[in-house]
Amino acid sequence: MLPEPAPARKRFDPARAAGYAHTNFRSSPMRRVAVPAVFLLAATAAAQDWPAFRGADGSGTSPTAAPLTWGATKNVVWKTDLPGAGTATPVVVGDRVFVTCYSGYDGRGPNQSGLKLHVVALDRGTGKLLWTRDVAPKLPEQENIRDGHGYASATPAADATRLYTFFGKSGVVAFDHGGKELWRADVGSGLNGWGSAASVVLAAGKVVVNASVESDSLVSLDPATGKEAWRVRNVKESWNTPVLTTHAGRPELVMASFGKLFAVDPASGRELWSSATDIPWYMVPSVVVGDGVAYALGGRPGGGLAVKLGGTGDVTRTHRLWTSKKGTNVPSPVLHEGHLYWMHDNQGMAFCADAKTGRVVYEERVGRGDGVYGSPVLAGGRIYYPGRSGTMYVVAAKPAFELLASNTFGERGDFLSSPAVAGGRLYLRTNRYVCCVGEK
C-alpha cells in the first residue's frame, strides 16, 4: 500500500486576502408542507457550527462525534499556515472558519512598533484563505506576557452576519463576514502580565466582554453600533468567559471573579445573585451549568464549588451546595451525566468528580504529565484534552478512567488553544497553523 500523501498546507498570501463576498440566500415561495423541512434543515445546520468559545452555549459539548485518532497525515483534511501566533479558538460558522493572531513583536524589549493584530477567515471545507484584516494595536502593550499567551488570546464570537473580536486594550472590533470593519469599541486600557484572555459572548441580543483586565468591568455592547449598553464594575482578577443560561424562565449570565461567583441579568447588567467561592486567587476557568446548578473551578491552589441557580442577593448560605479543594487554574471543565471532568493545568492529572457532592471519583496521570491550558471538549462520549506540547489526549466520558488515544501531528508545538468541534470535525490551532481533522 502506498503511503498516504501529506495534506496540502495553505501558505499565507496577503495578495489573496482581498475580501470575500458573503452571499445571503433568500427562500423562494414554496408550499406550506415544505416549510417544516426547511426549519429542520436550518436547525441542523446551526447545530453544525461552533460560533464562540466552547461552542454556542459555552459548555464545551458537541452534538456530534469527532475522530478518535489522527496523525501527521491520517485524518487531516487540511492545514493552513497563519500570519502569526495566538491562542484564540477557531470559530466555525456556515462555510468559514474565523481566527485571530498577532505578529511583529514577541514580547521582548521596549520597541513594540512592529506589533500587528490579525483577523483571518478561512474556507471551512478547504482551508483556503478568504481574507485577512489587520487591527492596529493601541500602544504601548504589555511587555513579556507570561507563558506564551501573547496578544490574541480572546476567542471571537460570530452570528449570522457579523464577527466580533476582542484584543484587550486595543478594543472590541466587529466585521461582517466579508471582512468589512463595522465598528470599534474601547472597553478599557489596563494591562496585565498574563495578558487578556476572556472571550466574546452573545447574550440577550448584545455583545458581552469580560474586561476585568482592562477596566475591572463586564461590558455589554450593541452589536450593530458598538455603543455601550451597560457595564458591571468591580469585576476583579477574572479571566473567564461568562456563560449564558436560563433557570425557571429567567436568563442568567454567570461568571467568576476573585472570591465570588455571580450572575447578572444579560438585558440590564443588574446583579441577580452572588456566592463566595472560598478560593483565594484569580479565576480563569469558565463556569459550566447543568440541571439548575453552576459549577466553577479556579485558583492557583485549586478549588471548586457548586451553586444553585435562581437565587437573589448573597446566596452563599442558601444555594451553595458544596466546595472542594480540588480544581485547576486554567482549563475549564466539562459536565456529563452527573460528573465533572477536567485536567490540572500543569500536573498532567485528569479528574472526575461527582457533580452532586464534589467528591473526586478518580485522579489519574495522563501521558507524561503534560500541562493543559486549552479547555477540553466533549464529543461522542469522549473528552478531548489538548496537551501543551502538542498531544491531544482522548479520554472516555465515564466515571472510570480510560485513555482512548494520544494523538499528535508528529511535531511539538505550542498547543494552548481549545478545540472547536463542528459537523463531526475538529478544528485545532497552534501558534503556526489551523488544522481540520475529520474521518477520511
Written in H, E and C, the secondary structure of the chain is CCCCCCCCEECCCHHHCCCCCCCCCCCCCCCHHHHHHHHHHHHHHHHCCECCCCCCCCCCEECCCCCCCCCCCCCEEEEEECCCECCCCCEEECCEEEEEEEECCCCCCCCCCCCEEEEEEEECCCCCEEEEEEECCCCCCCCCCHHHCCCCCCCCEECCCEEEEECHHHCEEEEECCCCEEEEECCCCCCCCCCCCCCCEEECCEEEEEEHHHHCEEEEECCCCCCEEEEEECCCCECCCCEEEEECCEEEEEEEECCEEEEECCCCCCEEEEEECCCCCCECCCCEEECCEEEEEECCCCEEEEEECCCCEECHHHHEEEEECCCCCCCCCEEECCEEEEECCCCCEEEEEECCCCCEEEEEECCCCCCECCCCEEECCEEEEEECCCCEEEEECCCCCCEEEEECCCCCCCCCCCCEEECCEEEEECCCEEEEECCC
Checking if the pLDDT of 165 tops 90, the result is: yes
- In the predicted structure, residue 42 carries a pLDDT above the cut 60: no
The pLDDT of residue 309 is above 70: yes
Amino acid at 144: N
Highest mean pLDDT among 87-101, 106-120, 139-153: 87-101
Average pLDDT of 331-337?
A: 98
Do 83 and 397 contact (CB within 8 A), yes or no?
A: no
Give the torsion sign (CA, 415, 417, 419, 422): negative
Q: Specify the range with the lowest mean pLDDT, choosing from 128-132, 141-145, 228-232, 312-316.
A: 141-145
pLDDT greater than 70 at residue 36: no
Residue 107: what pLDDT?
A: 83
With 50 as the cut, is the pLDDT of residue 3 above it?
no
Residues in Cβ contact with 175 at an 8 Å cutoff, skipping those fewer than 6 apart: 119, 133, 162, 163, 165, 181, 182
Instruction: Judge whether residue 10 has pLDDT over 70.
Output: no
Query: Is-contact 273 312, C-beta < 8 A?
Result: yes
Q: Is the pLDDT of residue 16 over 90?
A: no
Lowest mean pLDDT among 141-150, 200-209, 259-268, 284-293: 141-150
Neighbours of 178 (CB within 10 A): 15
Is residue 257 over pLDDT 90? yes
Give yes or no for residue 47 having a pLDDT over 90.
Answer: no
**Higher-pLDDT residue of 370, 84:** 84
Q: Environment class of residue 69 by beta-carbon count within 10 Å: exposed (0-12), middle (13-18) or buried (19+)?
A: middle
Higher confidence at residue 14 or residue 317? Answer: 317
List the strands of the sheet with 260-264, edge to edge: 243-247, 250-257, 260-264, 271-276, 313-314
pLDDT band for position 2 (50/70/90)? very low
Which pTM was predicted?
0.90
Q: Which of 79, 115, 121 is nearest to 99 (CA)?
A: 121
The whole-number average pLDDT for the span 229-240 is 97
Q: Is the pLDDT of residue 13 over 80?
A: no
Q: What is the mean pLDDT of the chain?
A: 89
pLDDT reading at 231 higher than 90:
yes
Per residue in 208-226, pLDDT (tens digit) is 999 999 999 999 999 999 9
- Please say if the pLDDT value at position 6 is more than 50: no
Q: What is the pLDDT of residue 392?
A: 95
pLDDT (average), residues 4-13: 42
Q: Which residues contact 334 (CB under 8 A, 6 or more apart)?
A: 59, 60, 61, 288, 340, 341, 342, 376, 377, 378, 383, 397
Domains defined for the chain, CATH in brackets: 1-22+36-235 (2.140.10.10)
Q: Is residue 180 scored above 70 in pLDDT?
A: yes
Is residue 17 predicted with pLDDT exceeding 50?
A: no
